[in-house]
Amino acid sequence: SRKPKPKAKAKTKEEDEEAKKYCAIIRSSQLGRTINDARTMILVWITEMNSATATAGTAAALTFGLAWLAYRSWSKKAACPNAEPSDDPLKQGFSMKKIPQNLDAVVIGSGLGGLTTAALLAKEGKRVLVLEQHDIAGGNLHTFVEKGYEFDTGLHYVGARVGDKRAPLRKLLDYVSDESVEWAQLEDDYDVASSGDDEYHIYSGWAKVKKELKASFPEEGAAIDKYFEVVHRTGEYLFPALTVLKMLPEPAFNACMWLFSRQFAIFDKTTNQVLETLTSNRKLMGVLAYHFGDYGEFPGRGAFVMHAVLASHFRSGAYYPIGGPTAIAASIVRLIERWGGRVMVRSPVESILIDEKDRACGVLVKGREIFAKSVVSSVGAPATMTKLLPESHRGLVSRQIDAMKDPDVASFGSLMSLFVGINDADKSLELPRRNYWVHKTWDHDENLAEMIEDRNDLPAFFVSFSSAKDPTYKERHPGKQVALVIGACAYEDVEKFKDDRVKHQSE
């Protein structure tokens, strides 16, 4: 009984000419931004890196990358947006009729990684299809509403000066979202780490953090200064340098890693291993590693490089997307649709299709074969290799599969979320725009060991208030506030529910 949609109005000659001009503007501005940003990055790295890292090899690699990007931008025909986005972009169900013809790429998973990849491909003129098994796109960006309360699920704060339109991360996010997402800054002390009566505020800017730490640990001043120096060097120079070097051919990359083996040796160390070279004060070590939950591993297991990257990421404070994390996902999906792509939910990929040359050529969804020139999986290496790759071809990646089974490499532990709705009918409740990390003691790995023995003995939990961080929340959900509590748990304790439907657990 639905009314047929009116046919799209044909473009006039004047409109076609205007579209061509628009594409030319896009092409030239993208090239200009690419050259300017890359040139700035090269100059910053060369002038600020220490002499051991700022070498001719790194500069050459960066220059080569700039030249390649410039050539790509100049030589490639600019693509233009030519489609209208759907009314509800995050909930478009699977339909073979709506799949673009002659697909260039299928992206499995609609988390931020998958959506960003699809958006970049779409803006390069590629026909892209994103497939998501959940009933809403966005992965950890998605939110849900329960009894009038809206809860976020995975994104709780972002750093890297994302509130500043000049910041590199902001430019990247603006590029894949058409500059449609704005950001609200959290409190100056965006994180509070505590254990018992001990409480430490983590401020925007390291100067305040150093001052508070040195006041609490007066004999550890040198260790505190050294810690921030190592974090700065690892998170802001070595990690980006490694990212660039990974773009080189494998022989060149291996040669660079051998040449700079001393500088990159820190990549093989855990957070605890690095902290133990700076201080013997276990409490200080625990305070410095308070945010290990952000990278999902306890300090005794987690790589220090990830610790350093996250600490550097929040150096200038933290922000929250206005309109909630869903605003990011919706804006990227709309962009993908405008550029001719599609994002479909309730579309579980059963298998990756492999051709006679052992190359991925498509996917199988609900018994339907969908072919594409490229397949991108953003659901993680374990799931991709052990579930989506056909058993007949898993031997091709047997070495990687075996490596992921190594207890020192495999993901460890799980998290449980508690969603709390708060009735604020008189609108008098003023919740803080910050996060709280509450630890049993400052020895995080010992806390974990005790939880393994006693599952009710939580080592730590995280508390956040998205209704306070998002300035539009109270307008969208008047009289309501929310809190989120995240704590560690063991998968074995909930494994019995894995085949049950949501809200229909068997026990």
Amino acid at position 108, single letter: I
pLDDT at res. 29: 45
pLDDT at res. 325: 95
Q: Could you tell me what percent of the chain has a pLDDT over 90?
A: 65
3-state secondary structure of 12: coil
Q: pTM of whole model > 0.85?
A: no
Strands 105-108, 128-131: pairing is: parallel
pLDDT at res. 3: 47
pLDDT band at 405 (very low <50, low <70, confident <90, very high): confident
Helix (H) or strand (E) holding 200, with range, is strand 198-203
Out of 16-20, 44-48, 367-371, the most confident range is 367-371
pLDDT at res. 26: 47
pLDDT at res. 65: 52
pLDDT band at 84 (very low <50, low <70, confident <90, very high): low
Residue 52 scores a pLDDT above 70: no
Q: Which of 278, 309, 283 is nearest to 294 (CA)?
A: 309
pLDDT at res. 16: 56
pLDDT at res. 18: 53
Residue 350 scores a pLDDT above 60: yes
Residue 507 scores a pLDDT above 80: no
Instruction: Report pLDDT digits (tens) over 101-117.
Output: 899 999 999 999 999 99
Helix (H) or strand (E) holding 308, with range, is helix 304-313
Q: Which of 110, 138, 128 is nearest to 377 (CA)?
A: 110
Helix (H) or strand (E) holding 106, with range, is strand 105-108
pLDDT at res. 433: 95
pLDDT at res. 44: 39
Do the beta carbons of residue 443 and residue 472 sit within 8 Å? no
Query: What is the CA 129 to chain-centroid distance, rounded?
Result: 20
Query: What is the CA 240 to chain-centroid distance, rounded?
Result: 16
pLDDT band at 177 (very low <50, low <70, confident <90, very high): very high
Rg (CA), the chain: 25
Lowest-pLDDT range, 19-23, 41-45, 97-101, 289-293?
41-45
pLDDT at res. 12: 56
Q: Where are the beta strands (DSSP E) in 15-66?
A: none
pLDDT at res. 49: 40
Residue 11 scores a pLDDT above 80: no
3-state secondary structure of 307: helix
**Higher-scoring residue by pLDDT: 43, 122:** 122
pLDDT at res. 339: 92
pLDDT at res. 37: 47
- What gap in Å lies between CA 62 and CA 75, rounded to an integer? 20
H, E, C per residue of 445-478: HHHHHHHHHCCCCCCEEEEECHHHHCCCHHHHCC
Do the beta carbons of residue 130 and residue 343 sit within 8 Å? yes
pLDDT at res. 454: 82
pLDDT at res. 39: 43
pLDDT band at 425 (very low <50, low <70, confident <90, very high): confident
Lowest-pLDDT range, 15-24, 327-336, 387-396?
15-24
Q: Mean of the per-residue pLDDT values for the chain?
A: 85
Do the beta carbons of residue 189 and residue 244 sit within 8 Å? no
Residue 295 scores a pLDDT above 90: no
Strands 460-464, 368-371: pairing is: unpaired
**Higher-scoring residue by pLDDT: 452, 74:** 452
Residues 372-377 have a mean pLDDT of 95
Strands 319-321, 480-489: pairing is: unpaired
Q: Which of 121, 135, 64 is nearest to 347 (CA)?
A: 135
Instruction: Report pLDDT digits (tens) over 131-140.
Output: 999 999 999 9
Residues 255-272 have a mean pLDDT of 92
pLDDT band at 85 (very low <50, low <70, confident <90, very high): low
Instruction: Give 236's contacts (C-beta < 8 A, 6+ positions apart).
Output: 312
pLDDT at res. 78: 44
Residue 57 scores a pLDDT above 50: no
Residue 156 scores a pLDDT above 80: yes
Instruction: Report pLDDT digits (tens) over 454-498.
Output: 877 889 999 999 999 999 999 999 999 999 999 988 888 888 888
H, E, C per residue of 148-169: CEEEECCCCCECCCCCCCCCHH
